[in-house]
């Protein structure tokens, strides 16, 4: 801890990120706690999985990879977070970030519920409920990081509660540890087959409880980390092609269900090949980053932007009609002119826009058609001289 204090004293102010070798990971964790910072810890190591399990937020095998991962984590966009409808919770800070993992305890015995909550509270945030129905409702609202679920509950038992959680997209991936005095192999097998992460047979010690909770949370965090990496573009920090297509299907279904319009904008960086040829690929990457930052700055919380590939980006604009989408695209195009001056690079963009009403989304090809029309409008903008906005023609 003394070394951590010394390290902070050398660098006044709150660090935005912490980079360390594998051997220095404990010191980096201590420094972050002392600084009361929320920046990521990224380790340089040959064993990323071990570093993440040891407390790092991310890891890379080379200095260049570490630099990319730090940049990506510091630039995680608002739009990369899915739109949620959960109410404000006392488990959240004013920033919307949890101070500790949230563990939900589902136990009908009041004394046992109180004891479990008290054991967990020094290390985790805790929400305790006494039945399966309430657990389903609250879990969907607060999205706990882990659920301790008693198997035998009044009304809805633990098996039924877990099945309900797995059917709800908001709790489908939440890890669950079953608690039960019935520890036979058949009961354990049934719980695990339904998707439980672990099984604790009553009575259990405090040490076993804490070890299993800690292990399950770490495994879940590691799984989420690699899932996020698979869906994030390493250069810009925006969601990638795969993530976009999953979100496109969701937004099309949501717009059709609630009767809202939906718009899509395809954005292409003009002249990237010339930038690469004249100024080098590093300058080309800076131009791509400048475009990504400009897109990010124009987003509302409900919008979703992704790097579609190379120099091309795509933006989904929920509850947005054609005229509103045109205004968004024109604001973005003009912002790029400002970015170009600041970056000292010729950053310009061609933008294609397409919008549909809810009635037009009632076909299996609706998502593909929306994207195709935006892409056609983009190429029309390219053919018409670049650095302009074009709108797709409404099909008849």
pLDDT digits (tens, 9 = 90+) for 115-132: 999 999 999 999 999 999
How many helices and strands, by DSSP H and E, does the chain display? 14, 13
Q: What confidence tier does 248 reach under pLDDT thresholds 50, 70, 90?
A: very high
In terms of Cα–Cα distance, which of 56, 24, 52, 61 is closest to 40? 56
Number of residues in the chain: 396
When mean pLDDT is compared across 37-51, 236-250, 251-265, 380-394, the lowest value belongs to 37-51
Between CA 119 and CA 148 the distance in angstroms is 13
Q: How confident is the model at residue 347 (pLDDT cuts 50, 70, 90)?
A: confident
Q: What is the pLDDT confidence band of residue 95, given thresholds at 50, 70 and 90?
A: very low
Reply yes or no on whether the pLDDT at 9 is more than 60: no
Q: What is the pLDDT of residue 38?
A: 61
pLDDT band at residue 234 using 50, 70 and 90 as cut-offs = confident
User: Quick one: average pLDDT of 351-374?
Assistant: 92
Q: Tell me the C-alpha distance between 52 and 43, whole Å.
A: 8
pLDDT at 272: 87
What is the reported pLDDT for 94?
41
pLDDT at 87 over 80: no
Q: Is 270's pLDDT higher than 60? A: yes
Q: What's residue 278's pLDDT?
A: 87
Position 190 scores a pLDDT of: 83
Identify which has the larger pLDDT, 86 or 57: 57
Residue 339: pLDDT band by 50, 70, 90 thresholds?
confident
| Domains, the chain, with CATH or none | 2-74 (no CATH), 102-229 (3.40.50.2300), 241-391 (3.30.70.270)
| Sole residue written with tokens 């899932």 | 227
Choice among 92-96, 179-183, 349-353 with the minimum mean pLDDT: 92-96
Interhelix angle 110-120/206-230, nearest 10 degrees: 60
pLDDT band with cut points at 50, 70 and 90 for residue 161: very high
pLDDT at 209: 93
Region 299-317 average pLDDT:
93
Tens digits of per-residue pLDDT, 363-384? 889 999 999 999 999 999 999 9
pLDDT at 242: 86
Q: Which long-range contacts (CB under 8 A, 24 or more apart) does 365-374 make?
A: 366/252, 366/256, 367/248, 367/249, 367/252, 369/395, 370/248, 370/252, 370/262, 370/264, 371/248, 371/264, 371/266, 371/314, 373/264, 374/264, 374/265, 374/266, 374/314
What lies within 8 Å, CB to CB, of 96 at 6+ separation is: none
pLDDT at 268: 94
Q: How many CA within 13 A on the CB side of residue 60?
A: 18
Give me the pLDDT at residue 389, please: 95
Say which range, 154-158, 230-234, 298-302, has the weakest mean pLDDT: 230-234
Residue 234 to residues 49, 115, 241, 313, 322, Cα–Cα distance (Å): 18, 44, 12, 14, 32
pLDDT at 25: 83
Task: Give the model's pLDDT for residue 163.
Answer: 92
Asked if 389 contacts 351 with a C-beta cutoff of 8 angstroms, the reply is yes
In contact, 328 and 321? CB cutoff 8 Å: no
Q: For the chain, what is the mean pLDDT?
A: 84
Give the per-residue pLDDT at 91: 44
Instruction: Give DSSP secondary structure letters for 65-113.
Output: HHHHHHHHHHT--GGGSPP--PPP-TTB-TTS-BSS-EEEEE-S-HHHH
Cα-based distances in Å from 317 to 32, 241, 262, 380: 37, 17, 6, 20
Spatial contact of 43 and 21, defined as CB atoms under 8 Å apart? yes
Average of per-residue pLDDT across 226-246 = 85
Q: Can you tell me the mean pLDDT for 157-181?
A: 90
Q: Compute CA distances 75 → 37, 110, 145, 234, 292, whole Å.
A: 16, 45, 24, 10, 10
pLDDT of residue 297: 92
| Between residues 33 and 245, the one the model is more confident about | 245
């Amino acid at each position: 801890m003394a070394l951590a204090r010394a390290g902070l004293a050398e660098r006044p102010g709150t660090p935005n990120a912490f980079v360390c070798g594998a051997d220095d990971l404990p010191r980096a964790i201590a420094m972050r706690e002392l600084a009361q910072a929320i920046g990521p810890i990224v380790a340089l190591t040959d064993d990323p999985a071990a570093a993440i399990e040891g407390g790092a937020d991310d890891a890379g095998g080379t200095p260049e990879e570490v630099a990319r991962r730090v940049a990506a984590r510091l630039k995680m966009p608002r739009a990369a977070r899915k739109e949620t409808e959960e109410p404000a919770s006392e488990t959240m800070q004013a920033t919307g970030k949890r101070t500790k993992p949230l563990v939900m305890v589902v136990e009908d015995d009041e004394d046992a519920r109180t004891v479990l909550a008290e054991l967990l509270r020094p290390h985790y945030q805790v929400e305790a409920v006494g039945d399966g129905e309430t657990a389903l409702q609250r879990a969907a609202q607060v999205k706990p990081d882990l659920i301790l679920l008693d198997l035998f509950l009044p009304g809805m038992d633990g098996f039924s509660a877990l099945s309900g959680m797995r059917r709800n997209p908001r709790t489908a991936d939440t890890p669950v540890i079953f608690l039960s005095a019935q520890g036979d192999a058949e009961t354990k097998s049934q719980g695990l087959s339904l998707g439980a992460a672990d099984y604790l047979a009553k009575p259990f010690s405090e040490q076993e409880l804490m070890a299993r909770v800690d292990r399950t949370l770490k495994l879940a965090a590691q799984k989420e980390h690699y899932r996020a990496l698979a869906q994030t573009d390493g250069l810009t920090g925006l969601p990638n092609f795969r993530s976009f297509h999953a979100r496109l299907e969701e937004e099309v279904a949501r717009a059709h269900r609630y009767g809202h319009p939906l718009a899509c904008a395809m954005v292409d960086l003009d002249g990237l090949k010339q930038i690469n040829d004249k100024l080098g690929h590093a300058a080309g990457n800076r131009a791509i980053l400048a475009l990504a930052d400009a897109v990010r700055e124009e987003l509302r919380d409900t919008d979703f932007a992704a790097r579609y590939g190379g120099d091309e980006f795509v933006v989904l604009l929920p509850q947005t009609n054609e005229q509103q989408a045109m205004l968004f695209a024109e604001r973005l195009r003009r912002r790029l002119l400002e970015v170009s001056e600041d970056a000292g690079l010729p950053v310009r963009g061609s933008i294609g826009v397409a919008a549909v009403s809810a009635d037009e989304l009632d076909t299996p090809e609706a998502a593909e058609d929306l994207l195709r029309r935006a892409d056609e409008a983009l190429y029309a903008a390219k053919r018409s001289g670049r650095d302009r906005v074009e709108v797709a023609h409404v099909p008849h």
